[in-house]
């Protein structure tokens, strides 16, 4: 018989909805301290339930020893969901913060990238591959100007089944930050994080990602062929060093891609830039591109959603054929993996 115990946390407002999880604010009942709790449907962990506790303890230990990694504080589970309790990051997402600044120069982007690479180097040294690095997973601890930048969601790929993780990130998200070898199914080790850092760096310097296309399939082909360019219209004034750094990360062959250690030695991250030599303000260009694409992406997402819902409705009425394009493969298998809504008076007992 399953044993239950009173839950130590009360969950409140929704802070965000991701591809495979909901994030809510949570308060520790005894201390009154606030945290964020990431809720993940256990269907995503089928076949590796026996590993979860061990993996979470490893992630918890690793996360609490680096100031730029969001600390995993605790976890608990119910019959349906796994709840990961992390520190509450109140400073907002990376790109929103950039757009609120009065100015933004290449050296600012280099500093942000250096922080990310140092944190990723630490993860890699501890045997953890993030596998889902993207700007939405880069958060500030507080709204203060000098707040720490934090990497969130690291290590989820060690808890969630590999195949399901890939289906979710490609079907429900954009493939834009994923490395070629993920689509080719030839590997998903440390180099995939370095590729993602290349995409993030590109994005930080111009406000759009290198492989953008109207469809996920076209985007995937562009990624697999490293088909991108530095359009002079948007890249005028960005240094050759920055472009070289990106090029050495967006390399199709993972064995020729820079490692985290090598990236930290690259001249772009090593250079000391004096204030009078900092070049042009990138903010007008970057924020214009970012906001235009954010508006466009919302429109595309709405169209995709309505098509998907329409397709499901037609299928349920017996009038629709199952979709077989690769951008939707696997969706049916993962219907219903969103976290289950449930009261949290009691949770499953875990033996500490």
Tens of pLDDT, residues 196-226: 999 999 999 999 999 998 888 899 999 999 9
Closest CA to 11 of 23, 21, 26: 26
Q: CB under 8 Å to 109, separation ≥6 — which residues? A: 201, 204, 205, 242, 282
Q: Domain ends where: 296, 329, 346?
A: 296
Does a structural domain hold residue 28?
yes
For the record, the structure tokens of 151 come out as 């990497």
Residue 307 scores a pLDDT above 70: no
Closest CA to 161 of 18, 329, 46: 46
Same domain, 270 and 168: yes
Express each pLDDT in 256-305 by its tens digit: 999 999 999 999 999 876 555 567 899 998 988 888 776 655 555 556 55
Confidence class of residue 133 from pLDDT cuts 50, 70 and 90?
A: very high
Same domain, 83 and 98: no
Catalytic residue among 108, 132, 153, 193: 132
Same domain, 56 and 115: no
Rounded to a whole number of angstroms, the distance between the first and last alpha carbons of the chain is: 19
Mean pLDDT in residue range 159-185: 75
Same domain, 114 and 82: no
How far apart CA 327 and CA 122 sit, in angstroms, is 34
> Residues forming the annotated binding site for ATP?
38
Task: Decide which of 73 and 21 is more confident.
Answer: 73
Same domain, 284 and 136: yes
Q: For position 76, which CATH number holds?
A: 3.30.200.20
Same domain, 235 and 197: yes
Q: CB under 8 Å to 88, separation ≥6 — which residues? A: 25, 34, 35, 36
Spatial contact of 75 and 56, defined as CB atoms under 8 Å apart: yes
Does a structural domain hold residue 254?
yes
User: How confident is the model at residue 348, as a pLDDT?
Assistant: 87
User: How confident is the model at residue 42, as a pLDDT?
Assistant: 87
Same domain, 84 and 99: no
> Residues forming the annotated binding site?
38
Spatial contact of 183 and 220, defined as CB atoms under 8 Å apart: yes
Same domain, 150 and 190: yes
Does a structural domain hold residue 131?
yes
Q: For position 194, which CATH number holds?
A: 1.10.510.10
Mean pLDDT in residue range 132-159: 88
Closest CA to 197 of 258, 140, 142: 258
Same domain, 60 and 126: no
Does a structural domain hold residue 338?
no
Does a structural domain hold residue 61?
yes
Spatial contact of 36 and 23, defined as CB atoms under 8 Å apart: yes
Q: Domain ends where: 246, 277, 296?
A: 296
User: How confident is the model at residue 48, as a pLDDT?
Assistant: 74
Does a structural domain hold residue 334?
no
The burial class, CB within 10 Å (0-12 / 13-18 / 19+), for 298 is: exposed
Q: Domain ends where: 88, 115, 146?
A: 88
Same domain, 170 and 213: yes
Residue at token pair 């009038």: 319
How far apart CA 202 and CA 136 sit, in angstroms, is 15
Does a structural domain hold residue 262?
yes
Which residue range(s) make up the domain with 289? 94-296
Closest CA to 153 of 64, 57, 72, 51: 72
Does a structural domain hold residue 323?
no
**How many domains does the chain divide into?**
2
Same domain, 25 and 134: no
Is 277 known to be catalytic? Answer: no
Look up residue 158 and give its DSSP letter.
G
Same domain, 173 and 215: yes
């Amino acid at each position: 018989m399953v044993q239950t115990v009173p839950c130590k946390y009360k969950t409140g407002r929704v802070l965000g909805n991701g591809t495979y999880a909901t994030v809510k604010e949570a308060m520790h009942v005894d201390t009154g301290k606030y945290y964020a709790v990431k809720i993940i449907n256990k269907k995503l962990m089928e076949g590796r339930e026996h590993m979860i506790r061990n993996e979470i303890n490893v992630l918890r230990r690793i996360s609490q020893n680096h100031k730029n990694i969001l600390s995993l504080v605790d976890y608990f589970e119910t019959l349906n969901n796994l709840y990961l309790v992390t520190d509450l990051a109140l400073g907002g997402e990376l790109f929103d913060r950039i757009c609120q600044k009065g100015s933004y120069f290449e050296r600012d982007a280099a500093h942000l990238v250096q922080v990310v690479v140092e944190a990723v180097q630490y993860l890699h040294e501890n045997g953890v591959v993030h596998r889902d690095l993207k700007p939405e997973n880069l958060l500030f601890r507080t709204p203060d100007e000098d707040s720490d930048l934090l990497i969130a969601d690291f290590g989820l790929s060690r808890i969630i089944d590999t195949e399901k993780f890939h289906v979710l990130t490609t079907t429900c998200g954009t493939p834009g930050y994923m490395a070629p070898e993920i689509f080719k199914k030839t590997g998903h080790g440390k180099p995939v994080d370095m590729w993602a850092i290349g995409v993030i760096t590109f994005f930080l310097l111009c406000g759009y990602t290198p492989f953008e296309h109207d469809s996920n399939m076209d985007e995937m082909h562009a990624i697999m062929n490293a088909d991108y360019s530095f359009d002079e219209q948007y890249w005028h004034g960005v240094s050759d060093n920055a472009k070289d750094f990106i090029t050495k990360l967006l390399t199709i062959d993972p064995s020729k891609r820079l490692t985290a250690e090598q990236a930290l030695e690259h001249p772009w991250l090593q250079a000391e830039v004096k204030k009078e030599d900092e070049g042009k303000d990138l903010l007008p260009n970057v924020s214009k591109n970012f906001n235009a694409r954010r508006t466009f992406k919302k429109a595309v997402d709405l169209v995709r959603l309505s098509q998907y819902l329409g397709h499901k409705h037609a299928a349920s009425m017996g009038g629709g054929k199952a979709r077989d394009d690769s951008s939707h493969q696997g969706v049916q298998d993962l219907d219903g993996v969103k976290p289950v809504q449930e009261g949290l008076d009691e949770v499953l007992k875990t033996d500490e």
